Structure 1
């Protein structure tokens, strides 16, 4: 089968190549999916450039991509509730990363049947960002109706889902975005929009219950300036917290180095008696099914920036790296 493969650590243009590889073999608890669409995420190019080497080193060539929507092609002997020909979507587990290929493997319990009101491109845009938002806002932050949440970068792939999910929970949602995207984030439900090109969000929000930090850097530490005492800060780009480093199984030495690196954030959290957690998203079929129900009800609608043909996947990654996508960038394998 044809697959886009990572050939070495490096940038998009020098380290990705199309190759012919063997069609994956599945275990008794897995499903082989004929890919109709896949979406790409910042984690893909971060792995490619070597940002995750401290946690897991790659053996090259290695597959790329974690989101997939397609049709069931083969089923493991232990799998129940799915049949060949079913339309499904999934965020595959890390050992099976490689959805930018004609076939993808997923554990059966990470798979959900595709809602009829969604195209494969729309379904492929959901899993990673949807599960990240769900686990950040519901599992960790435990966002409640009537609470106030600040979501950074509201027009991005993650932000557009997080805004809509937070609104479905009954929260007041503030978000940051550029002038060009103000109308978009208002349209999907943001109650307060801060145009970072003309406004400083630190002057516009205060005493918030939750900050969802999607940017990292100074935004992580500054989040504690806008939450109330006892608030919660959840990040996908900031420093790793102690619980996350334990969950990753890192050595005591590495955990110590990361704790030193996170001192500024840890101190800020202590001063506000606040929760700080880094989101380490895990594939979860039950949560993905709950998200699918929200899409069926049109409580959340997909926001897609652009769709590229499979042969133009490198071009798609170049667009993603620029960081200006409005919603998700999707790869089409069929049309």
Structure 2
């Protein structure tokens, strides 16, 4: 079968190719999905660039991709909740969705929302699970105020909708060109970062979703209330996460030094800070399915590429200027 693989670390155009690989076999707890659509995420770019080598063992060549939607064509003997022919979508916990067929454990696969296309479904798993887990970790409640950075991005656009579904007041930042588009997602106050300073607008927020890192992580503490929460996707590793990673003393010491400025801000604001590593979760994806089917959450696709043009899809995401998600149509 055909697949998109990365063969080396470095520049996208030199590091990924079309390959002919063996069709996967499944074990008793897995299903085989015929891929109809997959989506490209910034995570894919980081993997190819080698920025995540320290967090996982990658054996090259490796098939790219984490999001998939399609139909089940085989199922293992222990699979009881899914059937051959089911239309499904999933965040593939192990890399490898950019292929004609993908084997996935049953317990991380969900039925596709009935009212959207395969392309729309493929755009959802990683970003919706990330947004869901951020809001859960931050314990966002109705009436809370949240600042979501980069509201036109994949995670930001889903987080806006999920936060509004919870009854929160949503601030978000975006560029001038995307202001009206982001307003349509339901944000209460859209801040044009090219003409406005969000730090003078957002006051006493209950929570900040930090998707940008660096100074944005530190500045998040300036806009939260005492006891507020900062949940980051790209900031320094917090103490609790470092302990869960079972690192040695010297590694923990280095990470403590890296987060020293954040640690100071945490103490000043009696705040909670956490770096989120998203994980596959069928129950949360099922909840997203319900929100999509009831019209409370809408998909946001920037562009759809045919499979034969998949490398250009990855290059397009690498530019960092997408509005919503980029999808590769496999069928």
TM-score, normalized by length of structure 1? Answer: 0.97
Q: Is this contact kept in 2: 1:87–1:114, CA < 8 A?
A: yes
Report whether the alignment pairs 1:304 with 2:325: no
**Equivalent of 2:134, from 117, 133, 136?**
136
Aligned match of 2:143: 146
Q: Is this contact kept in 2: 1:244–1:280, CA < 8 A?
A: no
Q: Cα offset for 1:54? A: 1.4
Quote the Cα distance in structure 2 between the aligned partners of 1:93 and 1:63.
13
Quote the Cα distance in structure 1 between the aligned partners of 2:29 and 2:327.
27
- The two structures, once aligned, show a CA RMSD in angstroms of 0.9
Report whether the alignment pairs 1:330 with 2:330: no
Q: Cα offset for 1:204? A: 1.1
Aligned match of 2:40: 40
**1:24-39 mapped onto 2 (5 Å cutoff):** 24-39=24-39
Aligned match of 2:122: 124
Report whether the alignment pairs 1:8 with 2:8: yes
**1:1-335 mapped onto 2 (5 Å cutoff):** 1-94=1-94, 97-138=95-136, 140-334=137-331
Q: Cα offset for 1:59? A: 0.9
* Corresponding residue pairs, total: 331
> Which stretches in structure 1 are left out of the alignment for 5+ residues?
none
Quote the Cα distance in structure 2 between the aligned partners of 1:119 and 1:288.
16
Q: Cα offset for 1:255? A: 2.2
Q: Cα offset for 1:247? A: 2.6
Range that drifts further, 252-261 or 65-74: 252-261
Quote the Cα distance in structure 2 between the aligned partners of 1:59 and 1:182.
42
Range that drifts further, 220-229 or 75-84: 75-84
Q: Is this contact kept in 2: 1:55–1:250, CA < 8 A?
A: no
Poorly superposed stretches of 4+, deviation over 6 Å: none
- Could you give the per-residue CA deviations for residues 15-57 of structure 1, whole angstroms, max 9, x where no partner exists? 0011000111111111110000001111111011111111223
Q: Cα offset for 1:222? A: 0.4
TM-score, normalized by length of structure 2? Answer: 0.98
Quote the Cα distance in structure 2 between the aligned partners of 1:243 and 1:64.
30
Q: Cα offset for 1:282? A: 0.4
- Could you give the per-residue CA deviations for residues 80-116 of structure 1, whole angstroms, max 9, x where no partner exists? 121111100000112xx11111011211011011121
Quote the Cα distance in structure 1 between the aligned partners of 2:249 and 2:75.
41
> Which stretches in structure 2 are left out of the alignment for 5+ residues?
none
Quote the Cα distance in structure 2 between the aligned partners of 1:58 and 1:112.
26
Range that drifts further, 219-228 or 57-66: 57-66
Q: Cα offset for 1:238? A: 0.9
